Amino acid sequence: MSDHHHDHGHHPHPISDVQARARALESLLRDKGLLTPGAVDTLVSAYEQDIGPLNGAKVVARAWTDPDYKQRLLADGPDAIRELGFGGLQGEHMVVVENTPEVHNVVVCTLCSCYPWPVLGLPPVWYKSAPYRSRVVREPRAVLAEFGTELDADVAIRVWDSSAEIRYLVLPERPAGTEHLSEDELAGLVTRDAMIGVQKVEAPA
């Protein structure tokens, strides 16, 4: 994504106590040879894109294959998600919104970076960025197009603003031509970005 921004390089924001302690610990581990350069970035990337979103992908795949579960998921997201063994902090109050051929949902947190950690892992950097947080509310269709998601003009877009009180998970549309796939195979198609709503789930080639 692109957006106009000001250079705040001369006025850095002070880091929090937690950030300071994390940096100090990382530095200490590196100095003692217990942590290689880039290891933290690799670990964070894994939790952002692979390990964390696997939970959400399993939830989506179950909803695609079990109509009763889907009904429970849309009625009470946290309770249905706990059925699969997922839950905890940042996921106590969660609403699941369903994409359909007529409606496409996308999630943002305009104030900070509230995010359903139990099903999506760590929030990606772009989700926390000021351009995404402001632009997806004003021009969602343009932002989605930048993620490669082109929607027909007659598809309504709903933007859901997460907060400390409530977080949202998008239930993507099941792609056509996947009727023969197992639940595990379907889960393998579901991406983190589809559960935020910036992309669709694609059928396997």
Residue 59, beta-bridge partner list = none
Residue 181 CB: number of other CB atoms within 10 A? 19
Catalytic positions: 109, 112-114
- Two tokens at 87? 């839950």
**DSSP code at position 146:** H
The distance from CA 160 to its chain's CA centroid, rounded to whole angstroms, is: 13
CA distance 174 to 165: 29
